[in-house]
Structures are given as C-alpha cells and as structure tokens.
Structure 1
Amino acid sequence: MKPVRRLLWSIFVCLLATAAACVGQEPSSNWISQIDIPALLPFQVSFRFTNGGATSLDNIRGQAILSDQFGRMIEALPIDSFSVPPGGSKTVFAASRWGFQQTGVYLEEIALESDGGDLISNSLAFRILPVQLPLAPAAATFGEGLKTLYQQPVSWGLQRISAQDAWTITHGRRDIVIAVIDTGIDSSIPQLEASMWVNAGEVPGNRIDDDGNGYVDDIHGWDFRDGDNSSLYGSALHWHGTFVAGIIAAQPGEEPIVGVAPGSRIMDVRFLDSNNEFSSRDWNVFAEAIDYAVDNGADLINMSIFANGTPPAALQNAIARAIRSGVVIIGIAGNTNQGSVQYPGKYDDVYAVSATTEDDQLASFSARGPEVSFCAPGEGITSFLPGGQTATRSGTSFAAPHVTGTLALILSAFPSLSPIQAVDVLMGSLVDLGARGFDPSFGQGLIDAFKAVSD
C-alpha cells in the first residue's frame, strides 16, 4: 500500500473457543471491533468497522495480513472497497483465495486506508486455531513448495520466475480477468473450475441472453469454433488450451500443478479446432473472439497462436481495438527455430514471448527476432490435459502464459495500474539474458514475478 499518514492504537484481543476475537478497548475516533473467523476452509475473517468521526469515510480499502509463527507474511487478504457514514458501522469480510490452510497461522494485522489518506492499522498477533487439512502435508517445511501456507511442489518454470516469492505478496485477484483464446478449456477439472471467470450478467441455463451481449448463457466464455457457450460440448477439445490455462491460473489441489496467478480468473474463448488449427476462412472469427474478450471485461489476452503468412486487416484491426480499450495481448514468437517471429506475435501491439530452458538458454525450437519482447520458461513445462491428466510439453505457447500470469500478479499487487502500466512495471523488473540489453533471442529479458510485484 502507498505510504500514508498512520493512525495507530492498541487493542486487546481475546481468543474465544469459536476462533473469534474481541476488542477490549476502543479509541474515540474510528475503530475495529468484533473480529471473527467465520470459516477456516477457505480462511475468512470478519470485523466491525465504526466511523466515529463527523464526516463520511469513502472508498475504504485494505488488507488482512496472515503470518506464520515467525512473523513471516503468508498472505495478504484483500479487503474490497466500502464506505461508512459518520457515526455508522459496517461488518467487513476478507477471504483467502485458496481452498486449504496449514496449521500455525496468525492473523497479524488489519490495515485500512481511506480517500483521506489515513491508514488504520491494528497489530493483532491473533492465533487462528490449529487445523490440519488433507492438502497440507505434514512433511513439508518452510521454503518448500508454496511457502508456508501452500505446501505443494511447483514446476521449474515457476521457480525460475520466482513465483513462490511473489505469492508472499499476491496470488492474483478475482477481478483480474485473463482471456485465453485457444482450443478451449476443460473447466470441469477441479483445479481449473475454481479459476474460471463467471459472467455475472448471465443466468445459467435459462437460454436467454440476459446481459444482451449477443451470446446466450456465456457463463465462462464462448466457443467460437462450435458457436455455443461451452468448450465442453460439440467438437472434441485439443489439449493445448487446457494446458495453457493451467500454467496461468490453476489452483493448488490433488495434482502438483499450480498456475502463476491462481487467484485470477480465466475467460475461455475457444477459437482453434480439435487439431489445434484454423483455416484462412477463420480470420473474421479470430477477430470476433478478440472483440468478445475485450467487450466482456478481459484485462489481458493470452494468444498462444501462430499463423502461417500475413493475416488480413480484420485481425490487426481487432488487436488495435483491444489496445485502445486498454487490454494487453501476449503472443508467442513461434516454434520454427527461425530468425523471424510469426503472426500475430509479429504485430507491434502484441508482446511476443520466446522460450527458455532450465539453464537460461534459448530453447532449440524457439523463433527469435526483433519483435520478441520477453522470454520465459517454455521447455519441459507441466500442466493439465483435458480430463485432468497431467503432461509435460515444450513450446513458446507455454512460455507466454508465464508472462500473462505475471502481469496478472502485477495488476493484483498494484490495483491502481492499468494493464499497459503493468507492462511498464514488468519491463523494469526483467533479468537480462544474452547480449546486454535487448537482443532478438531473449527480447528485453526473462521475467521475474517477485521483483515485478515487490518493486
């Protein structure tokens, strides 16, 4: 949170058998009371905020900080914006984006700021009652897997971009929407189902276009290949889109797969066919898919797609419309091992990503060229296949989602930034590889998620 003037006071916290806390004294101005833990799975905290002043407090926001027994931050639970009139009170909730917790977690602090610049900070040192849940293996230790709270191994790619360290700051926010224009996503996989975008303007299954966007019951997105509301129906799914979605935002669970930004949401925009292909007749449909993502609130678009030859103006115009709307598009360099980036990554308005290996070399298959913006892990990446099986694959298609996920983390860590501004933050946090500065193999450099969200 930005530096602001602090109002500090002491409060006495009482542990109750129901895992609740109460405040023993209240200051004369604004205060927090009735701190409670209504749920442990996922973890939630509620509290009562009272405005004891003579003026309304608007756009109050902040976070509830969880820490381990050593005071190391585990997670910052976001507190959505709220307002309280003078003399009024409001019950406020904050919740973890994860479905499980480990033992020995403390609610350390609740911190709030308002438009007036006041930061209301309560140092609580409040112990959440110990719980032992199935998805928190007792054998795991601090520093392994997802740090203290989320005890699960991650892929080498996430390790290389310092995603685990970034998660001590943010896992992504629900309101950050990433459109995956690809072969469709198997949203029935439990670790992906919870990460799917939900169109709040639609009533599921009533066969009515409730939000008037021209697409009936588009709850999680739209299948432009079959012209219906779900990739799970109609023509068979190619594995590619599900694999990409898992890299971006899979939540932790039974399979050892976690996305870069698992707290964010995925919009399923199916364009490619069952063979992971499209034809020259599909250019206008490709443009419609981009327009759909933009019109329905996507902040970022991941397009792990390449085209042979030069696309018609319809595609470039759709990309330009997306950029004018403030949406950032991440594309790929291609897998040709040539010195020329393929479209749509070749467009100036698309950030093309090349693929690296575990030893920070350009992958043997990766294309390169002056249009490459960034590089990211793309060789030997593990993710989901349709049906929930896991597999390991290589390609620039799987490097790009590391970048897209990192941008989602930046937007989550810095809520005031636009997607374009998030790219600027990313640019300032890259690890230089190859020749000093920009080079056609690695672009501006390798992404570092932790540096990006902590600068």
Structure 2
Amino acid sequence: MRPEFSRAWRAAAVAAGLIASVTVPSSALADSIRDRQWHVSALRLTEAHKISRGEGIIVAVVDSGVDAAHPDLAGSVLPGTDLGSAGDGRSDTAGHGTAMASAIAARGHGPGGGDGVIGVAPGARILPIRDQGSSGGSRGTGDGIRWAADHGAKIINISAGGADLSAVRSAVEYAIGKGIIVVAAAGNDGGPVEAPAMYPGVVAVAGTGRDGSLWPKSGRGREVVAAAPAAEIAGAEPGGRYSITAGTSDAAAITSGVLALVWAKFPSLDAANVINRLIKTADDKGEPGRDPSFGYGLVNPVRALTADVASAATHPLLPSAASPAPSAPASAREPGGPASSSDAARGGGNEQSPALMAAAIAAGALMVLAGGALAIFMRKRRKVHTGR
C-alpha cells in the first residue's frame, strides 16, 4: 500500500467516524499496554502458554503487510511477499496487518518480554502477505491466499470480508484442499457473514465483548463457527506504536492464535481435527449448541489444549447433502447497509441479472467515493499512542 493511499484511507476513516486518535505519553503507555490486554486474562493465556506457545506453526497474515521491525514482533516475522511490488511483506503503512500479527504472535519486549503486547501464540511465526488486490483491500484477488498455501502456511488468517468473489472462493478451496486452516472475520456491520468467512470449511469468527456477550456489530449467520474477543483489543502498530481496536478482525486473529497453540501441542493432528478440538472445547453461549451468533461458542485455549477430545472422521465444517443453505450474501442486505457486488451466486452460478449488475456497479461507485477500502479493513480503530 502506497503511503499516499494510507493517508487517504486514514482521512476517509476519520471522516466516517471510524478512527479517533488519542495520544498519551510514552511512559504511561509502557506501564499499561499489557494491562490493557484484557483478553489475555479472560482466555487464561498465561496458563495456556505453560502448555503450548505455538512453536513450529506458521500463520499467514493476508493483509496490509506486517511491520517486522516492531519490537514486539522482532524475530517472529518471516520473509513473505508483496503482491503489488517486489517487497517481502515486512512493512505496513496502514497498520491493520501489524495489529493482526501482534494479536497472533507478538512476543513483547524488554526484560523477559514483559513490556508491550503478547500474542495468543508467541512461539508461532508470521508469514506476511501484502495483498491489496484490485479492490484496495486485504482479501485481494485470492492470489495472497494461494501464495500462503504454497509457501508453508499451516493457518491463513484473513481479517477482512466483503462480497462473494469466485476467485477468492476458489483460492480458499485450494488452501483447504491442501490441509490448511483458513480463518476469517465474520463482519462488522451486524449483518450476514461475509466472504470469505461464509465459505464451507472456513473458521468464521464472530466477536464478543469483555462480558462475553456478542459484540453488537458482529456478523451473524449459520456459517459462524466460533467467537473470540473483539472489543478494546490492544495491539501493535507500525513504528513501535500501539492502538486499541475493536472488530471481528481481532477476533479472527485471536482464534488463529488459539489454533496455532493447539496444532503445536498436537502436531500429528490434521486440520480437520485441530478445528474439531477448537469447537468441541469452546464455551457454549447463546442458544444451546451451534447458533448464528457464537457458532459453537467462545474459544477456550486451555480446554482446547487439555481436554479429551475424540477424533473426527470427517472435516467438521465441510457441508453434507443435508447442510442448510448459507445466510444471505452480503450483496443482499437490506437498503441502507453496506453494499457489495457479487461475482458468483451463492449457489455456484456465474450469471447475474441486469438489475444485480447495475446495483453492483452503483455500489462500487459509492464505495470509491466514500473510500472503498473501509469496506474491506473491518476494524474500528482508536489509537492510544502515536509512538516515539
């Protein structure tokens, strides 16, 4: 992402009310940023880290790149790729990818790593894929997902969402077919689950607040697999900075970290059984069993690492002939909600009606005028520190 695009994105976000900046002294932040990671205690990560830290697991972050020079990510970011240039993905002018990487695998800094932020799986390695794609968002064209699948990723985190695109659907199917876990955010407008979270086999993640209730703007639908903290998440920002953010982007990244912990603890498991262990040990919330708000429940890292879970003979998220139809596509939301064009019908067809095509074109024009990248980077962002 070019610096001028980053500035434009941030300006549009401020205008839309999605970013409010609050600067505090560096000394005050240094003493408090770890304390602000409320999800660390809520998920009992200190206890989980005595069992597993995610060593040996590569998690791809298909996003805006990752600032590998951030002190809390030092040593955890592998050379990746920048599909828009000759870079290796280890820079980030937007900040979204860095925050997601820190939620997954930040190691802190200072004596004993006690300063800064800690990720869910601090022993995991991040494979950064900077994939802006033609739409200006981190889902790109699906090329980043394919690149991750071909370059050693065991888990692919996609903290973004939007309309159903056949290229992205195909890339997700390719990755899942290679035995890779794909994790994606459910969405941030309280509407149906977005792509790629809507696709069969994807771990679609909804968000929760501090009290464990559903985050009010979390996407909902029968595709939701699990829920994770999404409110007031402290994370890293480029240039040694930090931010407090909210959204299912963060929830997806936290869930990717939990899956990394499980796979490191049980390296002989295949993707289906790693996912099975995640959902069988989740804390059931909402309606009994799987429901459209929480899926199978709130992720529970300690139980996922310690519970006796029977093996799954088949992939728990891949549909059978009796599976219900998916939720309405993002493009079918009621008037007034964010509009998204659809590249392929949810049932698998490729033709669109003239009315739908016209609506898609109009929606695309509106997104450009409003700063279309906002529909892809699905986080509300509140900076608490602008750095050194």
Q: Name the TM tier (shorter chain).
A: 0.5 to 0.7
CA distance in 2, matches of 1:285, 1:386: 21
Query: Out of 79, 82, 96, which is 1:223 matched to?
Result: 82
Supply the AA of the counterpart residue of 2:98: T
CA distance in 2, matches of 1:282, 1:366: 19
1:280 to 1:401, Cα distance in 2 relative to 1, 3 A:
closer
Alignment of 1:98-247 (within 5 A): 153=35, 155-173=37-55, 175-197=56-78, 220-232=79-91, 237-247=93-103
SS at match of 1:290: helix
- Determine the structure 1 residue equivalent to 2:108: 252
Deviations 1:70-127 (A, max 9, x none): xxxxxxxxxxxxxxxxxxxxxxxxxxxxxxxxxxxxxxxxxxxxxxxxxxxxxxxxxx
User: Runs (4+) of structure 1 moved beyond 4 Å?
Assistant: 280-285
- Determine the structure 2 residue equivalent to 1:372: 224
SS at match of 1:252: strand
- Determine the structure 2 residue equivalent to 1:270: 130
Query: Structure 1: which 5+ residue stretches go unaligned?
Result: 1-144, 146-151, 198-219, 273-277
Whether the 8 Å contact between 1:283 and 1:314 is mirrored in structure 2 is no
Whether the 8 Å contact between 1:283 and 1:315 is mirrored in structure 2 is no
1:428 to 1:154, Cα distance in 2 relative to 1, 3 A:
farther
Query: Out of 343, 346, 354, which is 2:206 matched to?
Result: 354
2:146 matches 1:291? yes
SS at match of 1:228: coil
Offset of residue 321 of structure 1 = 1.0
SS at match of 2:215: coil
Whether the 8 Å contact between 2:134 and 2:140 is mirrored in structure 1 is no
Query: Structure 2: which 5+ residue stretches go unaligned?
Result: 1-31, 308-388
Whether the 8 Å contact between 1:330 and 1:351 is mirrored in structure 2 is yes
Supply the AA of the counterpart residue of 1:267: L
- Determine the structure 2 residue equivalent to 1:114: none
- Determine the structure 1 residue equivalent to 2:159: 304
Offset of residue 419 of structure 1 = 2.5
Question: Which structure is higher in strand share?
Answer: 1
Deviations 1:112-145 (A, max 9, x none): xxxxxxxxxxxxxxxxxxxxxxxxxxxxxxxxx9
Offset of residue 280 of structure 1 = 4.4
SS at match of 2:176: helix
Q: Which has the higher contact order (CA 8 A, sep 6+)?
A: 2
Whether the 8 Å contact between 2:48 and 2:302 is mirrored in structure 1 is yes
2:246 matches 1:394? yes
Supply the AA of the counterpart residue of 1:350: V
Q: Which has the larger radius of gyration?
A: 1
Whether the 8 Å contact between 1:249 and 1:261 is mirrored in structure 2 is yes
Question: Aligned residues: percent identity?
Answer: 34
Supply the AA of the counterpart residue of 1:329: V
Whether the 8 Å contact between 1:189 and 1:388 is mirrored in structure 2 is yes
1:357 to 1:270, Cα distance in 2 relative to 1, 3 A:
same
- Determine the structure 2 residue equivalent to 1:342: 194
SS at match of 1:286: coil
